[in-house]
């Protein structure tokens, strides 16, 4: 099983921390954030991961190469950011032999089971599954509506008038065929703006009830540092 672990963002909302430290290496409960993702991927049976790089790439590579992990790692350096969907498109051969693969935004922290997400995806008729969570800030998220068959019937990024409080969790399972749906000429390309709208009516939504937080702001980072030790104890 393979995964994309997206780590290339600049982390500007976490300045000054991320001026000298990539966001994926910010420590939480004694370990860099990326370490928690490696533990989660290993539990789910991921054997290979592609990590995209841009900001302070040498630091990320050195850290990951020093990890004691059975997961085989491939790096993809982006001199110019390709966007989350652009990374998938540029590296589609990495997953060409897969029935399905994970797409993970590395700046999130969650204790949800990746295996449960994958198994749900395997039970659904669609080639793409989006993990969802209930948000208190729907105007700041990608918001979906689901029907009774767990099919996403509506998606809108940061809507002024949200249709629900079910939000995109930045965690997906996909089949390789979805990569070719995007406009090949658009760069950078974003999953939320350039791929998910194409999949409305053709993707499933999996609601997670576990802990999930985007550590991309100082407020959320401090909250994660308070919450996470209690969740893993």
pLDDT number for residue 228: 97
pLDDT number for residue 161: 92
pLDDT tens across 69-91, in order?
A: 999 999 999 999 999 999 999 99
| Mean residue pLDDT across the chain | 96
Average pLDDT over residues 14-29: 96
pLDDT tens across 152-186, in order?
A: 999 999 999 999 999 999 999 999 999 999 888 78
Using alpha carbons, select from 211, 171, 205 the residue that is nearest to residue 191. 171
Note whether 174 and 100 are within 8 A (CB).
Answer: yes
Local structure of residue 151 (DSSP, 8 states):
B
Contacts of residue 233, defined as CB under 8 A and 6 or more positions apart, other chains included, come to none
pLDDT number for residue 184: 80
What pTM value is reported for the model? Answer: 0.96
d(CA 229, CA 233) in angstroms, rounded, equals: 6
Backbone angles phi, psi at 53, to 5 degrees: -130, 145
Contacts of residue 77, defined as CB under 8 A and 6 or more positions apart, other chains included, come to 52, 53, 54, 57
Please check the confidence at residue 37 and state whether its pLDDT lies above 80: yes
Please check the confidence at residue 111 and state whether its pLDDT lies above 80: yes
Q: Which CATH architecture has domain 2-137+170-232?
A: Alpha-Beta Complex (3.90)
pLDDT number for residue 186: 87
Contacts of residue 162, defined as CB under 8 A and 6 or more positions apart, other chains included, come to 138, 139, 143, 156
pLDDT number for residue 201: 97
The full set of domain ranges for the chain reads: 2-137+170-232
Computed from CA positions of residues 55, 61, 64, 70, in that sequence, does the dihedral angle turn out positive or negative?
positive
């Amino acid at each position: 099983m393979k995964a994309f672990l997206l780590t290339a963002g600049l982390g500007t909302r976490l300045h000054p921390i991320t001026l000298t430290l990539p966001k994926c290496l910010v420590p939480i409960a004694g370990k860099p954030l990326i370490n928690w993702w490696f533990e989660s991927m290993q539990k789910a049976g991921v054997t290979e991961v592609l990590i995209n790089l841009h900001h302070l790439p040498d630091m990320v590579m050195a850290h990951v190469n020093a990890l004691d992990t059975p997961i085989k790692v491939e790096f993809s350096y982006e001199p110019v950011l390709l966007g989350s969907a652009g990374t998938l498109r540029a590296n589609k051969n990495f997953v060409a032999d897969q029935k399905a693969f994970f797409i993970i935004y590395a700046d999130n922290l969650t204790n949800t089971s990746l295996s449960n997400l994958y198994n749900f995806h395997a039970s659904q008729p669609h080639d793409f599954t989006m993990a969802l969570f209930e948000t208190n800030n729907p105007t700041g998220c990608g918001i979906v509506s689901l029907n009774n068959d767990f099919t996403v019937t509506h998606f809108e990024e940061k809507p002024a008038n949200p249709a629900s409080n079910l939000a995109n969790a930045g965690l997906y399972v996909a089949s390789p065929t979805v990569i070719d749906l995007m406009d090949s000429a658009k760069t950078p390309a974003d999953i939320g703006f350039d791929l998910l709208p194409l999949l409305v009516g053709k993707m499933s939504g999996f609601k997670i009830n576990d802990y999930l937080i985007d550590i991309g702001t100082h407020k959320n980072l401090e909250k994660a540092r308070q919450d996470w030790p209690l969740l893993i104890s």
